[in-house]
Structure 1
Amino acid sequence: MESKFKLIENPAEHISDIKDYIFRIISNWKWFLFTIPIALAIAYYFNISTQKIYGLSTTIVVKEKQNPLFSSGTNIAFNWGGVSDKVESIRKTLISRTHNEKVVNELQFYIDYFKEGRFRKEDVYGKTPFEIKLQPNQYQLLNTLIKIDFIDDKNFTLSVEFRKDINYKLLNYKDETYKEFNFDKQNFSKTFSVGEYINLPFLKAEITVKNKLNTIKNSTYYIQLNSINAATKKYQNIRAKGLTGTSLVEISLTGPNKNRIVDFLNKTVEVLAKDELEQKTNYAYSTKEFIDAQFKNTSDSLKLIEDNIGKFKQQNAIYDLSAQGVEIFSQTTGLDKIQKKLIDRIEYFENLETYIKANSNYIKIPAPAIINIEDVSIASMVGKLTELSIKKEKLAKEVTSNHPSLKLLNEEIETARNVLLENISSLKNATNVSLINSKKRLNTYNYQLNKLPKKEQKLLNFQRKYTLTESNYVFLMQKRYEADIAIAATVSDISVLDSAKDTGQGYILPRKSFNYMIALLLGIILPLFVIIAKEVLDSKIYMVEDIERISPIPILGVVGKNEAENNLAVFLRPKSTVAESFRALRSNIQFLFGRELKDKSKTIIVTSSVSGEGKTFVSINLATVFALGGKKQY
């Protein structure tokens, strides 16, 4: 008998269960009709109440622009660095705090303009018919709304709501110093004229109208002044992305006000280009200053020698050299120039060595070419050291002193410095040897010079000095001319490909369609989850199938509710559905146990878990139906 009651898995039953769940879900359609409109209504409110965020971008070209007047064959070149990491350097500069702080200061983006909107105070920068001009080097009220009510086109009321439990701060934007401020009254209000100087304990400014054609009567605006740091933090989301395989950088920014985004993006490029150009010309100016100083000294020396020659000729009545003197002069002049060049070379090496040992910033090292030193190795090493110093200066603005990148760069600079010092020492020794040999050759002609008359010797020495100084004067004048052209022709490495512009772009947030889709899904999923959870957690039995799912014991019959006055439903109402149910139960019992219990005792026990569940009713009517069928009951 037990084998009959084993629970056997039936795939058809699972399909039936799924269908049953589907029908139960469909039967709760009112839940979906309730939740979906609510979810969509919430999404609608979210879409119209959330602040709209816009996104704009600008694209720049980063390219090392060498001055065409100073190619590899020219003596002066002011660009040491290459373009290998130029794009990455520009990208890091654009997102650095120092750079963005400079942009905020130039645009005065620490001033916020608001107007009362439907859900919040809206940023109306670029849309206000007026602007506020803060008095420089004066303390201004921070982080507090200043209300501006325009009575008419010429007058306005300025009001501030102060709270006694708050300590207010004033900021001087020029030197960024703060001081505490406490106001005696809780509310402040005063009427001013447009263009009138506002001289208050917490505000020193002037409000002017941009366009007199626009009426501003009965309009209300708000102004809030923020600290430089707080204003700069608003633009930390600026993104600068180098486009792969190109020298292009795309700069993008998001925010609630398109006018503000456009101005910030265009100004950040302008400031970047200006700084890059200034950095390039700084080296040129320092080199020009060095040349000017050398040129002035040489010019003064040349004038002094020229005066001395004139006086000497006049006092000694000697105006020309003899044939032998001319010969000696022509031979010694060339050697004098060689010797002067060698002396200048040694002097440059000594000055360079002293500068490198005494300083840690090597950006302003004069180029070797300016004193006619054309040694490729020394120029290359000076160039590398200068380039690394420029990189360090930029990186130091972006990272802390303990940053691994800065430490690595310092190690590279130290290595380049040591290599350069070693090369300077060896080149200085080699130049000293050449100078000694030059002096020996010159001494041969000096021996012949001593045989000339004393006056002619003196005149010849004056002319040698003059020729040598004049040669140096011409050389420096040429370098001075080249330096002036270099400064005038220097251009920034940054050029704009696409400037930021409001072309009617829509907002990027909130995403309406996406929000409606999420709302629709939630409107379906939430009630669905509740319905399924309710069905899973519900342990009540509603149908025959509920019993069949949880018990292996077969069901013999189902008896409906008794509508009779007493428990004798079968006897009193033999044609009722209840009586028919008991007859069907009798047939099933006979079918199930008839053969196996033919010669055995036939006992049926009716039981339940608690009283009142119908044991007596079932027993009486089951006995009745068996008795009516000719069976004896005991």
Structure 2
Amino acid sequence: MLDIKDFNILETQNTFDFKGFLSKLISYWKWFILCLILTFTVAYQVNIRKEKIYGMETLIVVKDENNQLFSSSTSLVFNWGGTSDKVQTVITTLKSRSHNEVVIKELQFYINYLKQGEFSLQDAYGETPFKVIIDENKGQIANQLLKIKFLNQNQIELSTTFENSIANLYHYADNTNSSTKVPIGDFVKTFNINEKIELPFLSFKVTQDLMNLNNLKQEYFIKFSDFNGTVAGYRNVDVEADIKGGSIIKIAKAGTNKARLVDFLNATVTTLKRRQLESKNQFATNTIRFIDSTLIDVEKQMNQAEGDLKDFRRDKNVYMLEGGGEALTSKLSEYDVEKDIVNRKIAYYNLLKNYLEKNNDYSKLPAPSVAGIEDPNIIGNVSRLIELSAERSELAYSVKNDKMFAEFDVQMESVKKVLLNNIASSKSALQIDLSLLSSNINTAESTISQLPDQQQDLIKFTRKFNLKDNIYTTFLEKRAEANIIKASNLSDVDFIDPAKDVGDGLIGPKTSVNYILALLLGLGIPFIVVFVKTLLDNSINTTEDIEKLTKIPIIGVIGNNKDNGNLAVFEKSNSTLSESFRGIRSSLQFIYKKQKIEGPKIVMLTSSISGEGKTFCTMNLATVFAMSSKKTVIVGLDLRKPKLFDDFKIDNIIGSVNYLIGQKTLDEIIQKTHIPNLDLITSGPVPPNPAELIISESMKEMIEELKLKYDYIILDTPPVGLVADALELAQYCDATLYVVRQGVTKKGMLSVVNEKHKRGELHNISIILNDFLNESKYGYGYNYKHGYGAYGEDYKESKKKNKFLNWFRKKQ
């Protein structure tokens, strides 16, 4: 017997039982198998429904293509800067909205060609036996599937279904939206190939694609998507510079249709080359535009001068008039040409200064060389301004960074100030040259004034004509020069390896990832469930749980009953369950011997609440004593909820209550059972005052009389956690067995029995762990049902049965 001073209550401990948790995980192996089957099935279904993903790429090089025809006087081109600057500009441009708008517009990728796949609609671009040519100025129905079915090689059936009376339309000419009324229901109509289809919601024609005429039996669908949304989808193209070769750029794009990817990648590079060459030719283009506008006036002036000269020379002896004046005429013509050059330079500087002061877009500036300006500072700064202006305009569509634009503005303002200073200093030098030329011309003209009048007139008309002719010829040369340079320029961007479908390129879907995810989920979900269940489970499940919560010894562990009957020991005396009760009997005898208890023995069985198997243990422990030829009696003292009689097929008309109130004698309430040496005293009718009967003198008399008749007296009492009846009976008992049921008894309930034992209200107490299930050790199933159920008004049961858990255990 335990000494109370050695008793130490350990009511709660927060340590986690890893060994028990691992054992529980193993016991739920069926859940793991079920979850794995489920997750792998889902992963398989997802994988077979996913479209294949392809990756296509192209390689381009960015270099400095210098025109071999350039000279110091033909600076009609500007560059983007060094190669590294060009590479960054190309990368930014390829991802810009403005660039991709041009590409998508040319490819008309906002028209979706689809076909029905095994599980969903698939991209049929490049496979359809037809092409759709739309009228971009008219509205096309938005995001509506239009089915196209070939009736024969020259006829198609166009059909769709309208769910609403209003249809939204896209206008691709200006990217606007509108709406129109449509008939609700199915729309079906037949059209000829190449026939213009004019409907309130459509305006296009269908042409044949001779490359895919073998696919006429397939049904196809077309759908018109939002232009801006389509462009946004292609701006995520992967562009990166090669680490080893800084001027090499790889452009890659992933998608479900290889033909579409190839066309997009090649078109985006072709568009880039064209736009870059246009930018590179900007000087030449501006120069040609300026010269063309100037030549019109110069040509008129030259024709006028030529006409005046012809009129003057008519009916005159020109040879006599020219005699003696050739040298003066030649000299004056040279002075006039030089003066015109100086004037043109000054006029260009005035034009340039005025343009710089009144405009912010400098991309349309003509080249300084058009005016004969060869000053490297002027040429370099004008070129730099055009470069910065063009680059800023390009970034405006792809970058939303005010700081970057501010930096561009600062740079352009700085170049503009330097250029204005250059203009001022150059104009000052030209004014000096102009004064000197004017003085020389005045000297020559004073000499001419001494010649005869007709000779002076001839020199005047000849001089005027020569000047206009020289100017006209100079502009023609400059224009031809600009055209030659423009024609001979090469783009700084070129293909190394164009995109091409060579049969590979498959990069997805990543089916292995889904299967790995299925494995993780299949193992993780039941693991988490069991883990959370373990954390939230406040029930006693193992002997270790009991040992952590109390110092009361465990006298035995009872497994489960596989059968429906509660008389398990009598019905299967050789079972493991029977051996468990025999072990408890042996332990009780050891306790009696150690405590030197002789004569009849009284054993009381109690528990915390109903449903823990107290009555089941009472019947089978009594059966074990009876089968060992010991006269044994079970006394039903659960006066509030009688139950013992059911399994013995004995009625409960009379019992302990009748004796305690003096109605019957002991012999009259004792009933024989079908088990040899085992008698039963049922509790009898439910009294109005069960507690008073338990503590009455009649109870003591009944116990004393029973000691005279039996070797073992087994008391079946109410739960000690609910009522005090069992505590009143403890004074008569030689041993108390406290029944704890695995998965039912809460850990906190042991604090009640700990406290009562500490105060001495329960003595010689031991614990029975009932209904123990540990497949890894015992291999028991979980099948039997027993316990109290509801106590009605007398007992307030604290446990709510977990129906799902009971069902699952029963299935196991």
Same fold (TM over 0.5): yes
SS at match of 1:434: helix
Question: Quick one: distance in 2 between partners of 1:622 and 1:228?
Answer: 89
SS at match of 1:113: strand
1:498-517 Cα deviation digits (max 9, x unpaired): 22222333543431111101
Aligned AA (1:39)? T
Say if 1:446 and 1:154 are closer, same or farther in 2 by CA, change over 3 A: closer
Q: CA shift at 1:369, angstroms?
A: 0.9
Larger Rg: 2
Partner of 2:435: 436
Partner of 1:117: 117
Check conservation: 2:115, 2:221, Cα contact below 8 A.
yes
Check conservation: 2:240, 2:250, Cα contact below 8 A.
yes
Check conservation: 1:171, 1:177, Cα contact below 8 A.
yes
Partner of 1:594: none
Q: CA shift at 1:70, angstroms?
A: 0.9
Question: Quick one: distance in 2 between partners of 1:480 and 1:96?
Answer: 34
Q: CA shift at 1:335, angstroms?
A: 3.8
Aligned AA (1:115)? K
Question: Quick one: distance in 2 between partners of 1:506 and 1:326?
Answer: 80
Say if 1:151 and 1:478 are closer, same or farther in 2 by CA, change over 3 A: closer
Question: Quick one: distance in 1 between partners of 2:57 and 2:478?
Answer: 43
Question: Quick one: distance in 2 between partners of 1:5 and 1:557?
Answer: 17
TM-score, normalising length from structure 1? Answer: 0.81
Q: CA shift at 1:161, angstroms?
A: 0.9
Question: Quick one: distance in 1 between partners of 2:363 and 2:450?
Answer: 52
Q: CA shift at 1:69, angstroms?
A: 0.6
Partner of 1:183: 182
Bigger Cα displacement from structure 2, 518-527 vs 58-67: 58-67
Partner of 2:209: 210
Question: Quick one: distance in 1 between partners of 2:310 and 2:277?
Answer: 48
Question: Quick one: distance in 1 between partners of 2:444 and 2:128?
Answer: 85
1:161 aligns with 2:161: yes
Partner of 2:96: 96
Check conservation: 1:153, 1:215, Cα contact below 8 A.
no
TM-score, normalising length from structure 2? Answer: 0.65
Match runs of 1:474-493 below 5 Å: 474-493=473-492
Check conservation: 1:150, 1:216, Cα contact below 8 A.
no
Question: Quick one: distance in 2 between partners of 1:140 and 1:20?
Answer: 68
Say if 1:581 and 1:453 are closer, same or farther in 2 by CA, change over 3 A: same
Match runs of 1:216-231 below 5 Å: 216=215, 218-231=217-230
SS at match of 1:234: helix
Q: CA shift at 1:127, angstroms?
A: 1.4
Q: CA shift at 1:303, angstroms?
A: 5.3
Bigger Cα displacement from structure 2, 86-95 vs 515-524: 86-95
Question: Quick one: distance in 2 between partners of 1:560 and 1:399?
Answer: 77
Aligned AA (1:148)? I
Question: Quick one: distance in 2 between partners of 1:85 and 1:259?
Answer: 32
1:96-123 Cα deviation digits (max 9, x unpaired): 2222222222122221122222222222
Check conservation: 1:152, 1:218, Cα contact below 8 A.
no
Question: Quick one: distance in 1 between partners of 2:261 and 2:186?
Answer: 34
Check conservation: 1:81, 1:383, Cα contact below 8 A.
no
Partner of 2:675: none
1:513 aligns with 2:512: yes
Match runs of 1:549-628 below 5 Å: 549-551=548-550, 553=551, 555=553, 557-558=555-556, 576-585=582-591, 611-612=718-719, 620=733, 622=735
SS at match of 1:219: coil
SS at match of 1:508: strand
Check conservation: 1:309, 1:463, Cα contact below 8 A.
yes
Check conservation: 1:141, 1:171, Cα contact below 8 A.
yes
Check conservation: 2:79, 2:280, Cα contact below 8 A.
no
Partner of 1:11: none
Partner of 2:281: 281
Check conservation: 1:54, 1:254, Cα contact below 8 A.
yes
1:376 aligns with 2:376: yes
Partner of 1:502: 501
Partner of 2:247: 247
Question: Quick one: distance in 2 between partners of 1:213 and 1:101?
Answer: 28
Q: CA shift at 1:489, angstroms?
A: 0.8
Question: Quick one: distance in 1 between partners of 2:375 and 2:166?
Answer: 66
Q: CA shift at 1:462, angstroms?
A: 4.4
Aligned AA (1:113)? Y
The structure whose RCO (Cα within 8 Å, separation 6+) is larger is 1
1:601-622 Cα deviation digits (max 9, x unpaired): xxxx999756447987997455
Could you tell me the percent identity over the aligned residues? 33
1:460-487 Cα deviation digits (max 9, x unpaired): 4445445544544443333222112112
Say if 1:380 and 1:27 are closer, same or farther in 2 by CA, change over 3 A: same
Say if 1:172 and 1:534 are closer, same or farther in 2 by CA, change over 3 A: closer
Say if 1:50 and 1:422 are closer, same or farther in 2 by CA, change over 3 A: same
Question: Quick one: distance in 2 between partners of 1:454 and 1:334?
Answer: 22
Question: Quick one: distance in 1 between partners of 2:731 and 2:505?
Answer: 76
1:449 aligns with 2:435: no
Q: CA shift at 1:263, angstroms?
A: 1.5
Check conservation: 1:559, 1:582, Cα contact below 8 A.
no
Say if 1:548 and 1:98 are closer, same or farther in 2 by CA, change over 3 A: same
Say if 1:560 and 1:100 are closer, same or farther in 2 by CA, change over 3 A: closer
Partner of 1:108: 108
Say if 1:584 and 1:234 are closer, same or farther in 2 by CA, change over 3 A: same
Match runs of 1:30-179 below 5 Å: 30-71=30-71, 73-79=72-78, 81-83=80-82, 84-135=84-135, 137-164=137-164, 166-179=165-178
Check conservation: 1:560, 1:581, Cα contact below 8 A.
no
Bigger Cα displacement from structure 2, 406-415 vs 389-398: 406-415
Question: Quick one: distance in 2 between partners of 1:522 and 1:384?
Answer: 61
Aligned AA (1:43)? A
Question: Quick one: distance in 2 between partners of 1:219 and 1:331?
Answer: 85
Say if 1:5 and 1:241 are closer, same or farther in 2 by CA, change over 3 A: farther
Aligned AA (2:188)? S
Say if 1:128 and 1:445 are closer, same or farther in 2 by CA, change over 3 A: closer
Aligned AA (1:186)? G
Check conservation: 2:77, 2:282, Cα contact below 8 A.
no
Question: Quick one: distance in 2 between partners of 1:192 and 1:453?
Answer: 88
Check conservation: 1:557, 1:585, Cα contact below 8 A.
no
Q: CA shift at 1:382, angstroms?
A: 1.6
Question: Quick one: distance in 1 between partners of 2:569 and 2:206?
Answer: 95
SS at match of 2:207: strand
Aligned AA (1:56)? M
1:370-427 Cα deviation digits (max 9, x unpaired): 1211112222222222222212322233356x83323332343334334333432332
1:509-549 Cα deviation digits (max 9, x unpaired): 43111110111121112212222333333333344322223
Bigger Cα displacement from structure 2, 484-493 vs 296-305: 296-305
1:341 aligns with 2:337: no
Say if 1:606 and 1:412 are closer, same or farther in 2 by CA, change over 3 A: same
Question: Quick one: distance in 2 between partners of 1:450 and 1:156?
Answer: 90
1:127-147 Cα deviation digits (max 9, x unpaired): 122233334533332221112
Number of paired residues? 594
Question: Quick one: distance in 2 between partners of 1:312 and 1:375?
Answer: 41
Check conservation: 2:147, 2:159, Cα contact below 8 A.
yes
Question: Quick one: distance in 2 between partners of 1:145 and 1:180?
Answer: 17
SS at match of 1:502: coil
Q: CA shift at 1:249, angstroms?
A: 2.8
Say if 1:293 and 1:544 are closer, same or farther in 2 by CA, change over 3 A: closer
Check conservation: 2:91, 2:239, Cα contact below 8 A.
yes
Question: Quick one: distance in 1 between partners of 2:360 and 2:443?
Answer: 46
Question: Quick one: distance in 2 between partners of 1:440 and 1:207?
Answer: 76
Aligned AA (2:54)? Y
Say if 1:381 and 1:24 are closer, same or farther in 2 by CA, change over 3 A: same
1:182-235 Cα deviation digits (max 9, x unpaired): 223422222334444434333233333323884556532222122322332332
Partner of 1:601: none
